[in-house]
Amino acid sequence: MLEVILLGTGGMMPLPKRFLTSMYLEVEGTAIVIDCGEGTQVAMRRADCKMSRVELLLITHFHADHVSGLPGLLLSLANGGKTGKLIIAGPKGLRRIVEALTIICPGLPFELDIRELNVREPSVFEFGGKEDKSFNHANMPIFDVTALPLRHRTPCLGYFIELKRPPVFNPTKAKELEVPLELYRTLHSGETVTLPDGRVITTSMVTDGNRKPVKIGYSTDSAPFMQIADFAHEADLFICEGMYADDAMRERMEDKKHMLFSDAARLAKAANVKELWLTHFSPAELNPKDGLPNVRRLFANTVIPFDGYRKTLIK
């Protein structure tokens, strides 16, 4: 099961009823978090997220509403039972930021693996898989994470995550090959097995072809440009900034390198995504849902989420 939770929907500063924008994704006991502004760990607890399952933290940029909650989040992960290691990836300069913020939370029971990403060109890295023994569970899913440099007032990255799905297991094929039941799971995870009679059985012998990856796009704090749509192409879910519903705010947003609801909708349409969630609302945007009818004229499958909004993409 793959579940996505939008932990908060606010930009700039937390409000009494709106946490700062952050996302939690979990599949098969492995969780990824994007951004950690002030209070993110509280938003995670309200959404009943499992702290010990967070293995990767992606940081978009170093403005306070996206990173100042790091010490509290790390301490909450420790109190939640996390061990092993936590990968933290973000723009160049991340190590300096993490080292400064973690002065107040020394002695964490897990390793911090800090990875600085290119802020001039798109970059891709693979995350997960059973080969990395520093994680705590063997059958870890595999993700491709693409970082796209955005157009903000400071170096900023958008993230496009693809979950690689194993082929469909065919128990009939396994039965015909006289594979013992206890080896089904091993084969389904992609490993080769040797039967007692010496025959070697590969995954391809007991599956029915490849499945399309599940793709999630996440882009906040940027002026709109078409390369975002290129990278979000046919995403199952696209989470995108929309600071204001009113197009009269366009000049102000252009100056500050942010997006309007309509900008996000046009990108979603150009990318042919399945669903768009708007987020990162201005503190002055008190009732974002009022803008939903207009934005749906541009992209019909648009959602104005609330804090803790969730969706299961794979059951």
Q: Work out the end-to-end distance of the chain between its first and last CA atoms, rounded to an integer number of angstroms.
A: 5
Catalytic choice (35, 48, 65, 236): 65
Look up the pTM and report it. 0.90
pLDDT at residue 138, rounded to an integer: 55
Decide if 65 is catalytic.
yes
User: Do 278 and 295 touch, CB atoms closer than 8 A?
Assistant: yes
pLDDT-flagged residues of the chain (< 70) = 129-139, 315
pLDDT at residue 277, rounded to an integer: 98
Domains and CATH numbers, the chain: 2-165+212-310 (3.60.15.10), 171-205 (no CATH)
Q: How many CA atoms lie within 13 A of 16 on its CB side?
A: 0
pLDDT at residue 209, rounded to an integer: 74
- Give the helix, strand, coil percentages of the chain, each rounded to 5: 30, 30, 40
**HEC per residue, 4-32:** EEEEECECCCCECCECECEEEEEECCEEE
Q: Side chain identity at 102, as an amino acid letter?
A: T
pLDDT at residue 136, rounded to an integer: 52
- Reference 239, options 290, 272, 273; nearest CA is 273
Structure letter (DSSP) for residue 68: T
User: Do 24 and 47 touch, CB atoms closer than 8 A?
Assistant: yes
Mean pLDDT of the chain: 93
Per the listing, tokens 């990318």 go with: 271
pLDDT at residue 128, rounded to an integer: 82
pLDDT at residue 290, rounded to an integer: 96
